[in-house]
Chains A and B, each alone.
Chain A
Amino acid sequence: MAGSAEGFMEFATSCSGRLFRTAWLLTGDWHLAEDLVQETLGKVYRAWTRRARPDDPAAYARTTLVRTFISQRRRRGASERPTDSVPEVAVPEIDVALRVTLIGALGQLDDKDRAVLVLRYWEDRSVEETAVELGLSAGAVRSRCFRALDRLRAVLGDGALWPESRPTPNEVS
């Protein structure tokens, strides 16, 4: 029912963590990620109260977040680049230099290429789902994904990103 924020707080509390992780991978900057998630939640809040609770609020929020990211980046142009600053969070299994390298390499990608990688690998979206969320064709998603991987490989070097001896994600708290 339109006009009610009922359920929004619960939704926002449960999904903002994942939205922030996605925003972090997209922006590589703590403050930009925070800004992006708040902007996204603001838009979802208004849709929720103006029209009705979206059928799938998590998917609606994710799509809003990715499109807001691309829209903001287009508006701000190339003047803002991700910083190399990584918040001080102790996760001993992962090498800090490696993390900085990964975020730095992602920052060299075109915004849509970066969004394709994040949706495909972190969000586990299919090619078709990614295409819908980004307003691209499935073929464009595939070609952007290949291009992005090639670019990362060129920056990081094959095998440099995650040596066989590194832990699997399940081992990471």
Chain B
Amino acid sequence: MTFEDQVDLALRAEALRIDPPITDLVEGGVARGRRLQRRHRARMVATGAVLTLVAGVGSVLAVPSFTGVGGSGPVAADDTAGGDGGGGPAGDAPAELDPDAVLDAVSALLPPGEITHANASSHGPTSAWVDFVYDDGDGASWMSATVTLAAVGATPSCTAALDGICEDRMLDDGTTVLLEAGPYYHQEGREPGRLQWRATAASPSGLTVRLDEMNAPSEKRSELTRAEPPLTLDQLAAVVTDDVWRELTAGLPVESEEDRAAQEAADEAAAAVAALEEARVGAELAADLGPGWVGGGLEMPRSAVPSPGQRAGLPEGYHGAVVNRDVFATGSMTLEDLCAPGVEKGLESLPCEPAGEGVWIHRVQSVGEIAAGDPVQDDVSVLYVDDDGMLSHVRVWVSEPAEASTPERRAAALTWLDEQVEALTRAAMAAVVEPGR
């Protein structure tokens, strides 16, 4: 029995040993749920006037009307915008931002519609992220929102990937509102109709609220449901500048600049130690691959790269040629998992081919129509499974932009990959023969 098997059994036995206090758990859980509901209702009463406007006639947004996109008219906004202290609900200040409360608040600020597939998660005590599908009756839209309270205010800037319209506005209280709209994919010709619109409000006090919407029910790989996202940019701006965000984040304990700097320094020191260890792993891998390979060092940790001589044959300009190795304990990964054929994100995984006792070759290749700017990629991996089921996986990949690729260049790259199989096999077997790497 391996140590992993022992852990598996011991955890199960330990969990099954105890006798859960079911009645206390259920009663306590319901009581807390009702308490959360009461708090929520109290919050919503505080913002009731604004919500009525959002759902009803729609007042004029405090930010100057954004005329670039949309045009069905602004919905509503509170002119105090995304908050800088003061106010806030009475009673105990929350210890952290409640993601469910963020989801509730966004939902309440949208025009009438149906919300499904909602998720809400915490990104630390003062940051939350939510996403959901919103349908106002004219087509489902994937929407996401982020609310973050920091020690100091940030200045939002135009997102390079959103290659469309980007305008900013300054509110009276110093809040910057950034409005962006454009195609989701920045590559020319790639789903130009898939649109992403976004509003970001950043106050000098450190509160940042962002809301994104699309004209499709998911971020990627879905049919478009409408010509444009459901809310105009002014409507998005009304949501991110609503006063509810100031109330939800009032009193949250924000990490000071000094604490943040100290934590960053500690993280950097720990990262430097970890990077050295990862560079050592890369050097070991290079040694197992054999002559012609060197460790990736700090730039490519845990990896090995070919020397110029070893790289000979791979067409000039090709990227990659980086080797990585994973070793999986018995039972934690199977050949079936790694060799599963299929196509995902333009890469086809071919069935594994046997290549000796316990050795399989696995190839992955770009297929289909590849957009200019996207890579044409080819991988080859060697998998080795020992008698106990321990599995090692050593992979090398190469790629180049589609516009540079020719059948001749790709054939030469595939030949080069084939020439590396012997070294990959050596490294795969070495990891299992000498486990603990």
Contacts and interface: CB of A to CB of B under 8 A. Distances in A.
B33 A122 contact: no
B122 interface: yes
A24 B3 contact: no
B21 interface: yes
B15 A40 contact: no
Interface string B1-25: 1011111111111111111111011
A16 B32 contact: no
B28 A99 contact: no
B20 A42 contact: no
A38 B40 contact: no
Contacts of A74: 124-125
Nearest to B39: A46
A117 B18 contact: no
A46 B19 contact: no
B36 interface: yes
Interface in A1-40: 5, 8-9, 12-13, 16-17, 19-22, 24-25, 34, 37-40
Contact of B26 (A9, A89, A145, A149): A9
Interface in B47-85: none
Given A17-B20, A75-B125, A44 B10 contact: no
B7 A21 contact: no
Contact of A37 (B5, B29, B36, B116): B29
B15 A9 contact: no
B115 interface: yes
B118 interface: yes
Interface size class of B (residues with CB under 8 A): 35 or more
Contacts of A102: 10-11, 14
A33 B363 CA distance: 46
Among B29, B40, B116, which residue has the most Cβ atoms of chain A within 10 A?
B29
A80 interface: no
Contact of B30 (A9, A17, A120, A158): A9
Nearest to B115: A51
Contacts of A162: 1, 5-7, 9-10
Given A135-B121, A164-B1, A22 B33 contact: no
Contact of A99 (B17, B20, B104): B17
Interface in A24-71: 24-25, 34, 37-52, 67, 71
B30 A118 contact: no
Among B20, B22, B40, which residue has the most Cβ atoms of chain A within 10 A?
B20
A89 B17 contact: yes
Contact of A45 (B30, B121, B328): B30
Interface string B110-127: 000001101001101100
A25 B11 CA distance: 7
Contacts of A142: 326, 328, 332
Contact of B29 (A12, A25, A161, A164): A12
A24 B326 CA distance: 32
Among B13, B36, B122, B329, which residue has the most Cβ atoms of chain A within 10 A?
B13
Interface in A113-164: 117-118, 120-122, 127, 135, 142, 145-146, 149, 152-153, 158-159, 161-162, 164
A102 B125 CA distance: 30
A172 interface: yes
A91 interface: yes
Contacts of B33: 41-46, 48-49
A123 to B, nearest CB: 10
B271 interface: no
B26 A16 contact: yes
B4 A149 contact: yes
B152 interface: no
Instruction: Give me the 6 closest cross-chain CB pairs, A-B, nearest first.
Output: A41-B29, A45-B33, A42-B32, A38-B28, A20-B20, A162-B6
Interface of B: 1, 3-22, 24-26, 28-37, 40, 95-96, 100, 104, 107, 115-116, 118, 121-122, 124-125, 326, 328-329, 332-333
22 contacts: A8-B30, A9-B26, A12-B30, A16-B22, A16-B29, A20-B21, A25-B14, A37-B28, A38-B25, A39-B32, A42-B31, A45-B32, A47-B100, A50-B40, A94-B13, A94-B14, A99-B17, A117-B7, A122-B11, A149-B4, A162-B1, A166-B9
